Amino acid sequence: MGLDLALSVATSGLRLLDRQMARAADDIANAGTLGHTRKSLEGDALTVSGTGQGVRARVVARDVDLAVQAAGQRAGGDVAAAGLRERLLGGIEAAHGSPENGDSLGGLFTSLQSSFIELREAPADPVRRNAVVTEAENLAARLNGVSDAIATARQGAQDALRAEVAAVNAGLSDVARLNTEIRGEMAAGRSIAALEDERDLAIGQLAQSLDLSVIRSETGAVTLVARGGVVLPLVEGSTPFSLADATVGSGAFHGGAGTLPGVMLNNRDVTRQLAGGRMGAAAELRDATLPRMQAEADLAAAQLAHRLDAQGLRLFTDAAGTVPDPTQPYAGSAMIGFAGTIRVNPAVAGDPALLRDGTHVVVGDPAGPSAFTPNPVGGPAGFETLLDRVLDFSFGAEQSAGVAQPGFATTGLGPDGTLSSPLSGLRTLADYGAALVAEQTGARAAATEAGSRASSLQELLDARMQERSGVDVDAEVAAMVQLQTAYGVNARVISTIQSMWDALFSAVR
């Protein structure tokens, strides 16, 4: 090997080592940077006719387990979805009160029943009458609070959906931009590793909003497909998703003749195709979970008012004095939103003696309550007929002896009549109230548990990702020491060659 070739080989080795040390230093400096993965820089030996000509550096590359990365992104979306559910459902749980303290719906149904039992023992006692009115007001206020909390959560879901639409549009634009840059760098033969890190980070953020899959092409670009097969458009600066602002009322719903706007993708409604992440969770809460909860609360309020009214005591009404009929279909009825408007009848609050005497005549029906005539003015102070009817039938499982109470509806719920409730097989007000509290407050606990499981999985996958593709600072420092040693050896080779050249030139002169 000639001196000039030896010098060329040694110099190419120095150039490779210099780039490798720069790569290691960059990894160490960015070890804590979100989304950064370990990079590698290898060299290829150059030979001509079997003679070594030095080394050539490859482009900087990375080694990422795409399956683990995708699973981690999906787990991140599950964590984000559970967090949104937990936040919005937490207000409903708080509004229900505490079963342990007896101030939840189930407890207040029982407290109202107990106050009637005490009044039955002394029907003329004004203190006990006022106690019944107070318990009735507490129950109405609790129903109002639960309804308000559901309405607040549903509006929150609509607002969250709009925020996610904006976030997805921004994320898709970022991915589109990075696709363009990656294609350009790849075509020029330059490293795309850092840009791929940046794009994966953007995709990870998108996955928190919407469950998606990534399809990678040989050109370096990616295609994003949402669950359900919806291909997400990638055009820099575009806003393919849109959602109009809206005030969500108890009777609002999406689809058909509904007034709630849908999530549009290039002018096509894809609301019901959304799944996963915060966007899917917000759509499901707005259009299914929360309207069902509202219907359950409305049914509790309507059955309460109706069962008392059917026995001759109009204790609860809405502001217009109406008592909804829970035997009618829920959709389109006066029951919608009744939990938010139920109140104690002002006539009873102004004259608690009506709790003993009754508010109106009941015409007997073999398939319903028996006949009832109110206690007339000047009638017996110990009149017990109405109180017996209330305790035996309004709070019981029968309308009259041998005639069962109509069950609480479990289907045909929601403003559009498409929803179903799991609260089946219940007959008494206290049982339904207790089950409603358990089911609706349990939804928040279920969201917390789901978030905990998803978070544990995400941590496990992140650990695997870090082990496979993360920067190990200790290993990188050790590698730099080795590279420095090799650099020193190459430098001595060059120094020796230089000395030989100097000696050769001196001999010639």
| Max CA distance (Å), the chain | 143
| Separation of alpha carbons 257 and 424, rounded Å | 29
- Phi/psi of residue 439, nearest 5 degrees: -70, -45
Residue 110: CB partners within 8 Å, gap ≥ 6?
Answer: 102, 430
Q: What is the DSSP string of 75-90?
A: HHHHHHHHHHHHHHHH
Do residues 309 and 327 make contact, with C-beta atoms less than 8 angstroms apart? Answer: no
Q: Looking at residue 242, what is its pLDDT?
A: 96
Distance separating alpha carbons of residues 248 and 246, to the nearest angstrom: 6
Confidence grade of residue 360 (pLDDT, cut at 50, 70, 90):
very high
Give the pLDDT score at 433: 94
pLDDT surpassing 90 at residue 470: no
**Partners of residue 413 on adjacent β-strands:** 419
The residue that leads in pLDDT, 39 or 160, is 160
Q: What is the pLDDT of residues 43-96, one digit of tens each?
A: 556 666 666 555 665 566 677 888 888 999 999 999 999 999 999 999 999 999
Domain assignments of the chain as residue spans, ordered by start:
3-62+473-508, 69-456
Q: How far apart, in whole angstroms, are the C-alpha atoms of residue 85 and residue 116? A: 39
What would the pLDDT profile of 175-204 be if each residue is shown by its tens digit? 999 999 999 998 888 888 889 889 999 999
Instruction: Determine the Cα–Cα distance for residues 292 and 417; give it in Å rounded to an integer.
Output: 10
The token duo for 154 is 């549903």
Percent of the chain clearing pLDDT 90 (strictly above): 68
Q: Is 471 helix (H, G, I), strand (E, B) or coil?
A: coil
Contact 477, 25 (CB under 8 A): no
Of how many residues is the chain composed?
509
Specify whether the CB–CB gap between 34 and 466 falls below 8 A.
Answer: no
| Structure tokens, 179 | 């696709």
269-283 residue pLDDT tens: 999 888 899 999 999
| Matching residue, tokens 């009618």 | 328
Which 3 state secondary structure label does DSSP give 110? helix
Question: Can you tell me which residue has the tokens 């759509």?
Answer: 283
Q: How far apart are CA 74 and CA 58, in angstroms?
A: 33
What pLDDT score was predicted for residue 33? 67
Higher pLDDT, 471 or 159: 159
DSSP string covering 200-264: HHHHHHHHHHS-EEEEE-TTS-EEEEETTTEEEP--TT---EE-------TT--BSTT--BPPPE
